[in-house]
Chains A and B, each alone.
Chain A
Amino acid sequence: MSHEITLTVNDQAYTRVVDSRLLLSDFLRHTLNLTGTHVGCEHGVCGACTVLLDGVAVRSCLTFAVQAQGHAVTTVEGLASDPAHLHPIQQAFWEAHGLQCGFCTPGFLMTLVPFLHENPDPTEAQIRDALSGNLCRCTGYQFIVDAVRLAAEKLRAAPAGAAGGGL
Chain B
Amino acid sequence: MTRLFGARVKRNEDPRLLTGRAQFVDDVHLPDLAHVAFKRSDYAHARLLNVDVAAARAMPGVIAVYTAADLGDFWQPSPLLVPPPPTQHIVFHQRTAGQLARDKVRYVGEPVAMVVAESRYLAEDAAETIVVDYDPLPAVVDLEAAVDSPAGLVHEDVAANIAAHVIQEKGHYPAAQAAAAVVIRRRFLYDRGTAAPMEGRGVVAQFDPLANHLTVWDSTQAPIPIRNGLARMLGLSERQVRVIAPFVGGGFGPKIMMFYPEETLVPWAAIRLGRPLKWIEDRLENFLAMTQERGQVHESEMALTRDGKILGVKDIFLHDTGAYDPYGLTVPLNTQCTLLGPYVVPDYYTEFKAVFTNKIIVTPYRGAGRQHGVFVMERLLDIAAKELGIDPLEIRRRNLIPPDQFPYCNEIIFQDFTKLTYDSGNYEPILEKAKAMIGWDAFHQEEGPRLRAAGKRVGIGLVLYVEGTGIGPYEGARVQIEPSGKLTVVTGVGTQGQGHYTSFAQIAAAVLDLPLEDVLVSTGDTGQFNWGTGTFASRGAVVAGSAVHSAAVMVRAKALKLAAEVLEAAEEDIELVAGHAQVRGTPGARISLAELAGRANPLRGAVQPGTEPGLEATAYFGPPMGATASGAHALVLEVDPETCDVKIHRYVVVHDCGRVINPLILEGQVHGGVAQGIGNVFYEQLIYDEHGQLLNASFMDYLLPTANDVPRVAVGHEETPSPLNPIGVKGAGEAGAIPVGPLFAQALENALADTGIEIREIPLSPSRLWELVQEATAAHPPATG
Complex partner residue of A131 from B17, B196, B707, CB under 8 angstroms: B707
Chain A CB within 8 A of B348 CB = no
Nearest CB to that of B670 among chain A residues?
A140
- Whether A141 lies near B698 (C-beta < 8 A) is no
Chain B CB within 8 A of A156 CB = no
> How distant is the Cα of A53 from the Cα of B128 in the complex, in angstroms?
33
B661-683 interface with A by 8 A CB criterion: 664-665, 667-669, 671-676
Nearest CB to that of B200 among chain A residues?
A40
- Whether A99 lies near B249 (C-beta < 8 A) is no
B681-714 interface with A by 8 A CB criterion: 698-700, 704, 706-708, 710, 712-713
Which chain A positions have C-beta within 8 A of B24? 35, 38, 103
A43 smallest CB distance to B (angstroms): 6
- Whether B706 lies near A102 (C-beta < 8 A) is no
- Whether A139 lies near B11 (C-beta < 8 A) is no
A79-122 interface with B by 8 A CB criterion: 79-80, 82-84, 86, 90, 93-95, 97, 99-106, 109
- Whether A40 lies near B706 (C-beta < 8 A) is no
Stretch at the interface among A1-9, A65-73, A142-150: A142-150
- Whether A101 lies near B708 (C-beta < 8 A) is no
Chain A CB within 8 A of B14 CB = yes
A-B contact count (CB 8 A): 182
> How distant is the Cα of A136 from the Cα of B712 in the complex, in angstroms?
15
- Whether A45 lies near B20 (C-beta < 8 A) is no
As a 0/1 sequence over residues 479 to 502 of chain B, the CB contacts with chain A under 8 angstroms (1 = contact) are: 000000000000000001111000
Given known pairs A41-B699, A137-B676, A143-B671, the reply for A129 and B18 (CB within 8 Å) is no
> How distant is the Cα of A104 from the Cα of B10 in the complex, in angstroms?
19
- Whether B710 lies near A132 (C-beta < 8 A) is no
- Whether A97 lies near B10 (C-beta < 8 A) is yes
Given known pairs A21-B121, A35-B27, A140-B713, the reply for A103 and B18 (CB within 8 Å) is no
Which chain B positions have C-beta within 8 A of A145? 707
- Whether B707 lies near A141 (C-beta < 8 A) is yes
Complex partner residue of B249 from A26, A101, A129, CB under 8 angstroms: A101
B17-47 interface with A by 8 A CB criterion: 17-24, 26-27, 29
Which chain A positions have C-beta within 8 A of B713? 140, 142
- Whether A100 lies near B699 (C-beta < 8 A) is no
- Whether A105 lies near B18 (C-beta < 8 A) is yes
Which chain B positions have C-beta within 8 A of A82? 19, 21
- Whether A101 lies near B199 (C-beta < 8 A) is yes
Nearest CB to that of A135 among chain B residues?
B704
A29-67 interface with B by 8 A CB criterion: 29-30, 33-43, 45-46, 48
Complex partner residue of A83 from B19, B700, B712, CB under 8 angstroms: B19
B115-137 interface with A by 8 A CB criterion: 120-121
Complex partner residue of A101 from B29, B121, B250, CB under 8 angstroms: B250
B446 smallest CB distance to A (angstroms): 26
Which chain B positions have C-beta within 8 A of A40? 198-199, 249, 283
Chain A CB within 8 A of B15 CB = yes
Which chain A positions have C-beta within 8 A of B712? 142
> How distant is the Cα of A86 from the Cα of B19 in the complex, in angstroms?
8
> How distant is the Cα of A19 from the Cα of B29 in the complex, in angstroms?
20
> How distant is the Cα of A34 from the Cα of B698 in the complex, in angstroms?
26
B interface secondary structure, majority: loop
Which chain B positions have C-beta within 8 A of A29? 26-27
Chain A CB within 8 A of B414 CB = no
Chain A CB within 8 A of B6 CB = no
Given known pairs A45-B698, A46-B699, A103-B250, the reply for A83 and B18 (CB within 8 Å) is yes
- Whether A103 lies near B199 (C-beta < 8 A) is yes
Which chain B positions have C-beta within 8 A of A48? 198
- Whether A144 lies near B707 (C-beta < 8 A) is yes
> How distant is the Cα of A6 from the Cα of B698 in the complex, in angstroms?
34
Chain A CB within 8 A of B612 CB = no
B266-322 interface with A by 8 A CB criterion: 282-283
Which chain A positions have C-beta within 8 A of B160? none
- Whether A43 lies near B700 (C-beta < 8 A) is yes
Chain B CB within 8 A of A153 CB = no
> How distant is the Cα of A33 from the Cα of B15 in the complex, in angstroms?
19
Which chain A positions have C-beta within 8 A of B120? 26
Which chain B positions have C-beta within 8 A of A137? 195-198, 250, 252, 672, 675-676, 704
Which chain B positions have C-beta within 8 A of A93? 14, 18
B504 smallest CB distance to A (angstroms): 16
Chain B CB within 8 A of A154 CB = no
Nearest CB to that of A128 among chain B residues?
B707
- Whether A84 lies near B15 (C-beta < 8 A) is yes
> How distant is the Cα of A80 from the Cα of B15 in the complex, in angstroms?
10
Which chain A positions have C-beta within 8 A of B673? 140
> How distant is the Cα of A128 from the Cα of B648 in the complex, in angstroms?
15
Chain B CB within 8 A of A138 CB = yes
> How distant is the Cα of A122 from the Cα of B736 in the complex, in angstroms?
29
- Whether A38 lies near B249 (C-beta < 8 A) is yes
- Whether A90 lies near B18 (C-beta < 8 A) is yes
- Whether A99 lies near B18 (C-beta < 8 A) is yes
B70-92 interface with A by 8 A CB criterion: none
- Whether B197 lies near A42 (C-beta < 8 A) is no
Which chain A positions have C-beta within 8 A of B196? 137
Chain A CB within 8 A of B16 CB = yes
A100 smallest CB distance to B (angstroms): 4
Nearest CB to that of A41 among chain B residues?
B283
Most buried by B among A34, A139, A143: A139
A-B contact pairs, 20 of them (CB 8 A): A36-B20, A40-B249, A45-B699, A76-B18, A86-B15, A97-B667, A101-B250, A101-B497, A102-B14, A102-B247, A102-B249, A103-B24, A137-B675, A137-B704, A138-B668, A138-B672, A142-B710, A143-B667, A143-B668, A143-B671
8 more contacts with CB within 8 A, not counting A102-B13, A103-B247, A144-B707, are: A36-B19, A42-B283, A43-B283, A46-B198, A94-B14, A103-B249, A105-B18, A140-B736
5 smallest A-B Cβ distances: which pairs?
A36-B20, A103-B249, A101-B497, A102-B17, A140-B671
